[in-house]
Amino acid sequence: MAPGTRTCAGCGAVLAARMLLKATGKDVIVCEATGCMEVTSTQYPTTAWKVPWIHVLFENSASVATGVKAALEAQGNNHTQVIAYGGDGGMVDIGFGAVSGALERDDDIMIITYDNEAYANTGIQRSGATPFGASATTTPAGLESQGKKQWKKNIPMIAVAHGSKYVATASIGYPQDLQKKIKKAMQVKGARYLHIHAPCPIGWAFDSSMTIQVAKLAVQTGMWMLYEIDDGAFKRTMTPELKPVDEYIKLQGRFKHLKPETIKIIQERINASWKEMDNLEKCGVNLRTIL
């Protein structure tokens, strides 16, 4: 990516794109969904993309990628990586049908969500990936509301339920881990799914100098867990001694309304989830063949 994209200061999503392309090299075609990245990186007649890039609509980047890949294969090109790329709104919610279709068909593409936990481009509306308790413009905190009522939709696990050979979560706070996973995914044939946590200073209301710190804290508190599911084998790629979730929450305006009892609910959920991940890892269940 060329410098000079028009993202906000401290944008996590543009870092995700940069880290992604550093890992893939130039032999890629990126199919991008409508959202912050598309709007800020391609203002006609300029572009920040030094690789072939196509944007069509909000909810179809996965099926556009399917078409691109099919054309390359028909032309005898079996080396170029085709990436479907989009925000959580585009991939987890409105475009999930296309993502699910490509996963089910096992189309030979990499499907990557950069997750800033809201529809950031249009003003921080809640998405299926917005965490429980976060205030978003369509689930605002108020006298009778503690923000979003539902837990974050677990797309990586839904992806592996399709039988995908490689599924991983990553964070812009841990670039080496992220790039290692991208490189690994590139070695796999078929539909691969990666979910990159990418904090958004505007949407989450934290100072733009703290993006990386917030990203790291998400992992260190267990609000975002790093793992990969390689051919069905679940493995955490980072197992920190978890810090209290409060350390993550208190940095962000979107959580500032949370009462101690709500934070406690979140903490308990993290603890339970972390324990289940332990179990999952230890029991060695193969998540592809269990299906």
Partner 1 sequence: MEDLAKFAADGKLKAKFLEVESEFSAMSSMVGAVAAGSRVFTATSSQGLALMHEVLFATSGMRLPVVMIVANRALSAPINIWNDHSDTMAERDSGWIQLYTENVQETVDTLIQAYKIAEKILLPVMVCMDGFILTHVIEPVDIPKQKDVDEFLPKYQPDHAVLDTERPMTFGPFTYPEPYFDLKKDMEEAIQDSKDVISEINEEFANKFKRKYGDGFIEEYKNDKDTVIVALGSVCGTIKEVVDKRKDVGLVRIKCFRPFPTEELIKSLKGKKTIIVLEKAFAYGLGVGPVFAEIRNALYPFTEKSKFISVIAGLGGVDIRVIQINDVVDKSKQMKDGEVVWMKT
Ligand X SMILES: Cc1ncc(C[n+]2csc(CCOP(=O)(O)OP(=O)(O)O)c2C)c(N)n1
Contacting positions for ligand X (CB under 6 A): 13, 33-37, 58-59, 86-90, 116, 118-122, 127
For partner 1, the binding residue among 71, 233, 272, 291 (CB under 8 A) is 71
Q: Which does 42 bind (CB under 5 to 8 A by kind): partner 1, ligand X, none?
A: partner 1
Considering only residues 221 to 280 of the shown chain, the ones binding partner 1 according to CB under 8 A are: none
Q: Does 158 bind partner 1 (CB under 8 A)?
A: no
Task: From 111, 120, 197, select the one nearest 158 (Cα to Cα).
Answer: 111
- β-bridge pairing 166-171 and 227-230: antiparallel
Task: From 131, 36, 39, select the one nearest 87 (Cα to Cα).
Answer: 36
Q: Does 76 bind partner 1 (CB under 8 A)?
A: no
DSSP state letters, 156-198: HHHHHHTT-SEEEEEETT-HHHHHHHHHHHHTS-S-EEEEEE-
Q: Does 185 bind partner 1 (CB under 8 A)?
A: no
**Could you give the string, one character per residue 2-31, with x where binding to partner 1 holds by CB under 8 A and - elsewhere?**
------------------------xxxx-x
Which two tokens mark 117?
């936990």
Q: Which does 158 bind (CB under 5 to 8 A by kind): partner 1, ligand X, none?
A: none
Question: b/e map of 124-160 (b: 16 or more CB within 10 Å)?
Answer: bbbbbbbbbbbbbeebebeeeebbbeeebeebbebbb
- Nearer to partner 1 (CB atom), residue 70 or residue 265: 70
* Cβ neighbours, 10 Å, residue 242: 16
Residues 6+ apart with CB under 8 A from 33: 55, 57, 58, 59, 60, 61, 84, 85, 86, 87, 90, 91, 95
Q: Does 83 bind partner 1 (CB under 8 A)?
A: no
Q: Does 68 bind partner 1 (CB under 8 A)?
A: yes
- Nearer to ligand X (CB atom), residue 119 or residue 206: 119
- Nearer to partner 1 (CB atom), residue 31 or residue 202: 31
The answer to whether the CB of 227 falls within 8 A of the CB of 234 is yes
In the 8-state DSSP scheme, what is residue 208?
G
Q: Least distance from C-beta 158 to partner 1, angstroms?
A: 15
Q: Which does 96 bind (CB under 5 to 8 A by kind): partner 1, ligand X, none?
A: none
**Could you give the string, one character per residue 27-46, with x where binding to partner 1 holds by CB under 8 A and - elsewhere?**
xxx-x------xx--xxxx-
Q: Which does 276 bind (CB under 5 to 8 A by kind): ligand X, partner 1, none?
A: none
For partner 1, the binding residue among 2, 9, 22, 50 (CB under 8 A) is 50
User: Binding residues for partner 1, per CB under 8 A?
Assistant: 26-29, 31, 38-39, 42-45, 47, 49-57, 59-60, 62-75, 80, 97-98, 100-101, 104-105
